[in-house]
Amino acid sequence: MGYKNTKDCLDALDARGELLRIDTEIDANIEIGAIQRRVFQAGGPALLFTNVKGCQFPMAANIYGTKERVRFIFRDTIEMVERLMKLKLSPMEALKKPWKYLGAPRTAYHTMPRKVSTGPVMENETTVSKLPQLISWPMDGGGYVTLPQVYSESPEAPGFNGSNIGMYRVQLSGNDFTCDEEVGLHYQIHRGIGHHHAQALKKGEQLKVNIFVGGAPAMTMAAVMPLPEGLAEIFFAGAIGGHRIPMVTRQNGLPIPAEADFCISGSITNIEKPEGPFGDHLGYYSLAHNFPVLKVDHVYHRNDAIWPFTTVGRPPQEDTMFGEFIHELTADLVPSVFSGVHEVHAVDAAGVHPLLLAVGSERYVPYAEERQPQELLTNAMGLLGNTQTSLSKYVFIAAKEDMRDGESCHNIPSFFHHMLQRADLTRDLHFITRTTIDTLDYSGISLNQGSKLVFAAAGSKKRELSSTLPTETTLPDGFCDMQVFAPGILILKGPKHQEKRDHPDSRLDRLGEMLKSAKGIEGFPMIVVADDADFTAQNWDNFLWVTFTRSDPATDMYGVGGFTHAKHWGAEKAIIIDARLKTYHAPALEPDPEVEKRVDALGAAGGPLYGII
């Protein structure tokens, strides 16, 4: 059950007609990533590049490029893992329907890794410089591992129970890293390896780390799985992989998956060096910042090693498929992890962490004549205090009691319509300022620091949303091109941003003052100011990406009738979100035109991508 290594998985995809071998020489510097993105966007097959320029190892991509392919790879185990998770929620389920859970003990048995003395991964040693040096975007700082499984163990409680596997960025070359001796390890806040690193520093030790590439697809899935702290990903890998993961145990060293394609083994030193830039999944570059250095001791690989990779960029990308698959597995867990919360939706089009939509209960005062957000605020704080949802920047949460049958936070246009009809803008906006935010989000006041907003809505409709432009509208100089994006949402073009970081823009205050007299403005409770109104209003994906990746709630929200009372901010008629690119934002990702031309040629008649892109 389950594929034990990369080659077995690719062979199975090949047999299904879902693998394309590309024997043409392809450059890992930008070209190979551009191909992967284009094939993903076209819904194309997995790719095996057999002739990588200047590299002895083949590279594989788009393995997880469609939801159907992901489900096929884990087809033997997904149903039982879902049942196992449900069993954890309610053991009574097993007593009521024991026939549904007959396989659960076997699945639980598979969670335990199997210790072995050696394995294929130990067959060869090489150096970092001989590994594939994937550069995905023109401004990337060097070669990167983009599907790493970074393994560490708690120095205070070593062993599988105290282990963590995360998909943290690994820079192999470039910047000031000593060739073959050092690699950069970029781990973001709220990651399990951070706890291990803190323990090592406290003990005055270096933290041992192994970076696996390839092997069982279950190990890749485990590395991206947002499991609760204290639940080791290696156990989940066995469950979703359908077999006990064989781990090579080494004296005075961390274990290594026997079936991995590669392993970089080393220790995090007390040295930090600049890591980056890197084109990231928000659609912008994350810039160079100091991060820990991993001193490399060994680089192992198997005889038939294949280097799996992906590239990230503005969503949707291949990593979107991971998110959708994880949602399928964990949807039933939401009410148990977050009491009172019925569903959540980390919006991929907005870069995942910038925008979280949720539905919760509002039961605190059931006898009240008018329902208002109370329990919803408790729910929202729970979301911001646990697991990966704690990195959310905007949390829009609605009361389940107000939602019609079939309404869901996964239907984004309908959910926004519901929220904007019911929110009391003078009461229901709750800011958390100068707090931690996602490392990759450059909209805040510094690296890792910005603000959050809980936007709650409960009770009856407060307004009817309009789809007709307000009249008698006068805009300040530099603002123009006002247009209706959706009922209740206006978009307009603003002048180029000129302020310093952590400084509001008085021109947006002036805009709010002038819009107070516009006739019908109350029908548009959300107004977005962008650099390009036409682009932003083109579709929901553009609107979500621009609005929520380019704004910090506390710095970039203004009001039509904005006010502050007893440190509470609200707006009488509408909120204005400044979604322009700021002077301090990281640049957006742009493809290399010359590389794109080469990819076009590969898709022409007679080329290996003909009929695919």
- CATH at residue 47: 2.30.110.10
What the block records as the tokens of 60 is 């594989």
- Check if the beta carbon of residue 163 is closer than 8 Å to that of residue 234: yes
Of 607, 605, 604, 595, nearest to 37 by C-alpha is 595
Among residues 285, 309, 333, the one where a domain terminates is 309
Question: CB within 8 A of 513, min separation 6: which ones?
Answer: none
125 and 207 in a single domain? The answer is: yes
Same domain, 82 and 134: yes
Q: Establish if 573 belongs to a structural domain.
A: yes
DSSP 8-state code for residue 232:
-
Is 63 in the same domain as 174?
A: yes
What is the pTM assigned to this prediction?
A: 0.92
The domain boundary, picked from 284, 309, 334, lies at: 309
Residue 606, domain member (yes or no): no
Give every CB contact of residue 351 below 8 A, 6+ residues apart in sequence: 281, 282, 283, 315, 440, 441, 545, 548, 549
CB 455 within 8 A of CB 424: no
**Same domain, yes or no, for 367 and 297?**
no
Indicate the residue among 457, 472, 499 that finishes a domain. Answer: 457
Same domain, 269 and 368: no
C-beta neighbour count of 446 within 10 angstroms:
12
CA geometry: angle 584, 586, 588, nearest 5 deg? 135
CA-based nearest residue to 192, from 221, 149, 238, 246? 149
Residue with structure tokens 């912008």?
284
Q: Which domain holds residue 368?
A: 318-457
Position 231 scores a pLDDT of 78
Q: Are residues 397 and 295 in the same domain?
A: no
Do 407 and 552 lie in one domain? The reply is no
334 and 434, same domain (yes or no): yes
CATH of the domain at 385: 3.40.1670.10
Q: Determine, yes or no, domain membership for 586.
A: no
How far apart are alpha carbons 306 and 338 in whole angstroms? Answer: 40
- 256 and 302 share a domain? yes
Chain mean position to CA 281: 7
Query: One-letter amino acid identity for 163?
Result: S
Whether residue 598 lies inside any domain: the answer is: no
Tell whether 204 and 305 lie within a shared domain.
yes
Q: Cα 187 to the chain's mean position, in Å?
A: 13
Q: Which among 317, 346, 331 has a CA at the least distance from the CA of 548?
A: 346
Structure confidence at residue 89 (pLDDT): 46
pLDDT of residue 226: 81
Tell me, yes or no, whether 342 lies in a domain: yes
- Residue 420 in any domain: the answer is yes
Q: What are the two backbone dihedrals, phi and then psi, of residue 352, each rounded to the nearest 5 degrees?
A: 75, -75
pLDDT along the chain (613 residues), means of 10: 92 98 98 98 98 98 97 89 62 50 65 94 98 98 97 93 93 96 84 86 94 97 82 89 93 91 95 95 94 96 98 95 88 81 95 96 91 96 88 96 92 98 98 92 92 97 97 95 98 97 96 96 98 98 98 98 97 98 96 97 96 95
Domain count, the chain: 3
**Residue 592 within any structural domain of the chain:** no
- Centre a 10 Å sphere on the Cβ of residue 543 and count the other Cβ atoms it contains: 25
Question: 367 with 514, same domain?
Answer: no
* 254 and 347, same domain (yes or no): no
Q: Is residue 600 part of a domain?
A: no
Non-local (6+) Cβ contacts of 229 within 8 A are 192, 195
Amino acid 181: pLDDT:
97
